[in-house]
Structure 1
Amino acid sequence: MAQQLSFDLPARQALGRDDFFVSPANAEAVAMIESWQGWPNRKLVLAGPAGAGKTHLTHVWAALTGAHILSATHLIGADIPALAAAPVAVEDADQIAGDRAMEEALFHLHNLILAEGQSLLLTATTAPNFWALTLPDLASRMQATTLVKLRAPDDALLSAVLMKLLSDRQLSPGPDIIPYLTRRIDRSFETARRVIDALDRTALETGRPITRKLAAKVLDNLGG
């Protein structure tokens, strides 16, 4: 059978609060985001593995606060005084470790935001003491920031993440697919994303619906 053409269409990512499934793995982080007015020193580090929901919760917080969101790697050239006039979310803050100019830009932004009475949210994969920052003053301020972690998913959260990834791609699998995948794949957000990407791609290429048989084939190909 000839393969169908596959078009890599972007998924429509739902980032509203109602789209975020709360479970014991993330309940503390959700509570901290929703009670942002009470953050000690008006700042918070949200840490967790790739795909854990950091970006989603960042957008939830931005909707609550009117915050501007930017990547830490985009701090160079940014108008720091203008940014500091409102709440700011800095994503992937751990990625700038070792870049003196970026570290100094984050240090400047951190100090101005607090001086202006605004709030600061930072996301990273690990806690600040693992960031290997080279600017001592920035390292000390980051390590003094309240930390909340997104943990690896439990069964309920993994099922919800799989369903959301499918929904973002406007895919409607059979009712047995989610339980089947939840039992078979690693407890990892990154694995969930990789499996759904492969399912979507395989279904497009073969013109077949997403069934348990197709899912089994995809997992075998992925080594799952």
Structure 2
Amino acid sequence: MARQLTLDLTMPPASSRDDFLITSANRDALAMLDEPARWPQGRLLLIGAGGAGKSHLVGFWAAEHGAQLCQAWTLTPGNAGDLVQPHAALVVEDAHEIGGNATAEQGLFHLWNLAGARQTLLLITARTAPRDWGVMLPDLRSRLETAAQAILGPPDDALLPAVLVKLFADRQIQVAPEVVDWLALRMERDLDLARRLVAAIDRESLADRRAITRRLAAELLDKLTPAEA
């Protein structure tokens, strides 16, 4: 039977505070974000692997605080002054990407100093701790390495199945609980993998008009996580 052409008609992911799934993996980080008055000098680093929930957290935090968002690699000494508004809030995303980029490093250093002078809340996100970014500018490296950090841990036993249910719901798909439980027990605790897996299951089930079963889930999980040689 010919495969059916599929279109991506999924709804945008639910990304409000009410849609954020709180477990032991992220509870402490969320608590730190919710108390900016306690951030040392008004700055905080939000650290978590890809798919750990940084974008979701940042999205509703920025909306609640009227914060501007920018990508770290776009920073320059010239644009930092425009980004840092007095008594406002700013989010710099994916700061782990700036290591070795002299212009971006200088831009973040200038922005860091301006945020303090202008009493601007500064939230910086990254996948790893600053010591792993390869930052070449000594003054910036020392500031980053001593900054307060909110850490997003890997998904725990409660978070991964809840995320799978949410990802299927975002695509308006109802899946039997046993399929979700089976996946949660066998896949790596990786939320980025969960997103890719749910997308693949959705595409495959539509293209071949197959029900979403443990067999289909197993086939696609094997494709996305090939066995080590």
The TM-score normalised by the length of structure 1 is 0.93
Asked whether 1:122 is paired with 2:124, we answer yes
Deviates more, 1:95-104 or 1:211-220: 211-220
Which residue identity lines up with residue 118 of structure 1 in the other structure?
T
Q: Corresponding residue for 2:113?
A: 111
CA change 1:11–1:113 in 2 (3 A) is: same
- Counterpart of 1:65 in structure 2 is 65
Number of residue pairs the alignment of both structures matches: 224
- Per the TM alignment, residue 110 of structure 1 is displaced from its structure 2 partner at its CA by 1.1
1:147-188 C-alpha deviation (Å, 9 max, x unpaired):
121111111111121122212222221232211110111111
Counterpart code for 1:154: D
Three-state SS of the structure 2 residue aligned to 1:151 is coil
Structure 1 residue matching 2:124: 3-state secondary structure: strand
Match of 2:212 in 1: 210
Distance 1:78 1:169, change over 3 A: farther
User: Is contact 1:80-1:108 (8 Å) kept?
Assistant: yes
Aligned residues of 2:77 and 2:110 also touching (Cα < 8 A): no
How far the C-alpha of 1:133 sits from its partner, in A, is: 0.3
Q: Which runs of 5+ in 2 are unaligned?
A: none
Query: Is the CA contact 1:92–1:125 (under 8 Å) kept in the aligned structure 2?
Result: yes
2:58 is equivalent to residue 43 of structure 1? no
Structure 1's unaligned 5+ residue stretches are none
Measured in 1, the distance between the counterparts of 2:65 and 2:5 equals 43
Counterpart-to-counterpart distance in 2, 1:114 and 1:26: 27
Contact 2:197 2:220 in 1 (8 A): yes
* Preserved CA contact (<8 Å) 1:173 1:209: no
Q: CA-to-partner distance for each residue in 1:96-134, whole Å, 9 max, x for gaps?
A: 110100111111111111111111001111111221101
2:166 equivalent in structure 1: 164
The answer to whether the 8 Å contact 1:98/1:134 transfers is yes
Query: What residue number does 1:132 align with?
Result: 134
Q: 1:13 to 1:4 in 2, by over 3 A?
A: same
How far is 1:82 from its partner? 2.7
User: How big is the shift at 1:75?
Assistant: 1.9
Deviation at 1:78, TM superposition (A): 7.1
How big is the shift at 1:28? 0.6
Structure 1 window deviating more from structure 2 (117-126 vs 74-83): it is 74-83
Specify the alignment match of 1:192 in structure 2: 194
Residue 57 of structure 2: SS of its match in structure 1?
helix
Residue 165 and residue 77 in structure 1: after superposition, are their counterparts in 2 closer, same or farther (change >3 A)? farther
Q: 1:205 to 1:20 in 2, by over 3 A?
A: same
Report if aligned partners of 2:81, 2:111 keep a CA contact under 8 Å in 1.
yes
Choose the corresponding residue for 1:154, options 148, 153, 156. 156
Higher mean displacement: 150-159 or 167-176:
167-176
Sort the Cα spacing of 1:173 and 1:27 in 2 relative to 1 into closer, same or farther, 3 A. same
SS at 2:3 equivalent: coil
What is the 5 A alignment of 1:88-107?
88-107=90-109
- Alignment-derived partner of residue 6 in structure 2: 6
Q: What CA distance in whole angstroms lies between the structure 2 residues aligned with 1:77 and 1:205?
A: 49
Deviation at 1:89, TM superposition (A): 0.5
**Distance in 2 of aligned mates of 1:78 and 1:55:** 26
C-alpha deviation, 1:33, in angstroms: 1.0
